[in-house]
Structure 1
Amino acid sequence: MTEFPEGFLWGVATAGHQTEGGNTAGDTWFLENVHPTLFREPSGPACRSYDRYEEDLDLAAGMGLNAYRFSVEWARVEPARGEVSTTALDHYERVVDAALARGLAPVVTFNHFTSPHWFSAAGSWLAPDAADRFADQVDRVVARFGDRIHTAVTLNEPNLEQLLQAGGKLPPAAEQLKVDMLAAAARAAGTERYFSSNVIPAAFQDEFREAFTIAHRAGRAAAKARRADLPVGISLAVAHEVARPGGEARRDARRAAVYDHWLRVAREDDFVGVQNYETLFHGPDGEVVPDGARNGMGSVIDPGSLAGAVRYAHEVSGVPVLVTEHGLQTDDDAQRAAFLPATLDRLATEIDAGTPVLGYCHWTLLDNFEWIFGYGPKLGLVAVDRETFTRTPKPSATVYADCVRRARGGRRTAGERRDLPVPA
């Protein structure tokens, strides 16, 4: 693997609701606990990262990383409309300062799917004042510690539902359960309707895309008003779409349905975040499923997927790419340990070919709460005991640390640990 550009961000990505635990004022928490629910289990204490964030930062620094992506949970900062918690803002300021103290550049996401319950009960992103309320949240965060944020992401994967529905990933029964869950949530909240950012019925996709677009622009403007030089972008779910002979029209139609609107929006931004987990192969009559080892999502494991997604995102947007998420869902950590260096080799080749990439944040640091799938899927570099919450680095954590060291020409960082597990 060749050396990556100077200033390249090497990090891990996390999200508040998935790791912090006890996010009781959030809409996701509310949906986890209604009946019927699409969620396999409630998030509960998650990984207890709200209290153990310094331990998590130590793990990231111990791998020789220089970046840490996390979300500021709006539901904690504004648990009721107009009631701002200085305690929560104090907490996230401590997280930022603790990251900086360990040499980790804070990459802050303003909304990683979960929003306040009051916001979603009032119409979510479709409410007339939704973008203004989001801009207010961005403003208060940047006002508090924006001078210490390295990079900011407004919204996480606003195209996720389009990706899932365009690919037929949600069976009709799951779509109906989603509708039934949201109806139950509306009844329980005493409101006309209830939505959440990653639980959107198919009939509302177009409305949400427009609302997310307005909110992203409002959030970016709020951040820039406080700090004009803060790099701001949006993170998108981007599969590598490959056309087999005769499958070009199908591939292009999917790109147009899932990515192209957002990549055009990103032309106004400082970068576009790419979150890549799979390669999809298109033939003239539908998706082609090649032979090969598969990840936990059922997709073929393809180390070239990330480079392909990054290339397309830059070609359409024209702005630099930040890999805000990339990983492998698997219970077999040996697969992850082999997948990481192969992927990063191909990413290095793509950068050498001229595609501007600002950094790579692996999803994720900890085995955590993976939304409707609960604690089943494993994507972390670090295992978490569900009873004691003890963190145990996996062999893939050592492999990632070794990749980063080689990418830097063998240089170690001050906080890097020598006692991570030896790869099997």
Structure 2
Amino acid sequence: MSRSFDVVVIGAGPAGYVAAIRAAQHGKSVACIDEWKNKDGKNAFGGTCLNAGCIPSKALLESSELFHRAQHEFKKHGIKTGTIELDLGTMQKRRASIVRQLTGGIAGLLKANKVEGLIGHGKLMSGKQVEFTAVGGGVEILSAQNVILASGASPVELRIAPFDGDMIVDSWGALEFDHVPKRLGVVGAGVIGLELGSVWSRLGSEVTVLEAMDEFLFMADRDVAKVAAQEYEQQGLDIKLGAKVAAAKVGKKGVEVSFDDKNGAQSIEVDKLVVAVGRKPHTENLFSEDAGIQLDELGFIVVDNECRTRVKGVYAVGDCVRGPMLAHKGSEEGVMAADLIAGEIAEVNYNVIPSVIYTAPEIAWVGKTEAEVKATGRAYKTGSFPFAASGRAKAMEQTSGMVKIISSKDDDEILGVHIVGPMAS
């Protein structure tokens, strides 16, 4: 059995489902293949972002922030709440409900746009043939004029701290704790590590974050990173920089984590350990050897600025290609690929992709940091404004942070905007 489509998309995360819908809106016949399976065994569209990343983490970030504010800030507003109690079960049910609603919404969007959603594994073969293996069994070869690979990424697992799904978990596992761990260890002080650490710290965990690099938030502007580090420390996050994890051993009392820092060999014991040291492109069994797809030294699919692979008519978008692993970046690439397939002129401006860390205070930026601008040799100027001088921030009782703008000294072109503070995103 074989069917033909104008476009076959492999992957239904923010890059894949957006590409599929956009292509269908151009009048193309489209199939979108996805094999995501949640921990309850049910398949769902939406990829990591909707099922195990952006959406569930934002739900818990919001709930934990409200819990924290009810405990520490409501009295300042004249709100008497009495004894504040945590109902983690209800909080987790709310998170799961939001995920179900949104993933169901993706399925509805695909159907409304006449995209054929296929549940199972897609594999690119030579000649733009796609081998589709359905979840229930059975293999079908799909013929495509164009193929868009949007297979996403998966958490990096450390050999010295392998995931066991219970004591040592990845970011997905850290979203599904059924109790608040008394002592929580987090390996990695990046976006994911800080967000997850913040959630459980607000809910009562003693959180220790181990970061191998000596510089905190290396990707952010230095002024913003400095303010953020001070705020996290005041909130109780114990962030250890230059801490290189050597081993993690699960015992009867928890997880013993050994690491080396400037003072030599150290160790801590935690009840749960979250490993959040980055993500790697998910390309395993995505294409056959003769499909013509090339990977770079890091395992990313090689593409040009228009997300074209070296095989004519085959594109790759999202986390499986170079650039920041951000849902909105993947979506923009998906739109571009679909538009190019439709014969339109399209591009993604990679210089203006915003980044956000959804802690409290939030951190958000777009464009270059001051160090990056300085490295170009371009004459520039900076301006900053503290939230402590903002009436709105004072009314919110959230005055920590600042806004910093970097512009060209010659023509005032905005080169970078950096915010750390309330609702920065």
Greater strand share, 1 or 2? Answer: 2
User: Relative contact order: is structure 1 or structure 2 higher (C-alpha 8 Å, sep ≥ 6)?
Assistant: 1
Greater helix share, 1 or 2? Answer: 1
Higher Cα Rg: structure 1 or 2? 2
Structure-1-length-normalised TM-score: 0.27
Structure-2-length-normalised TM-score: 0.26
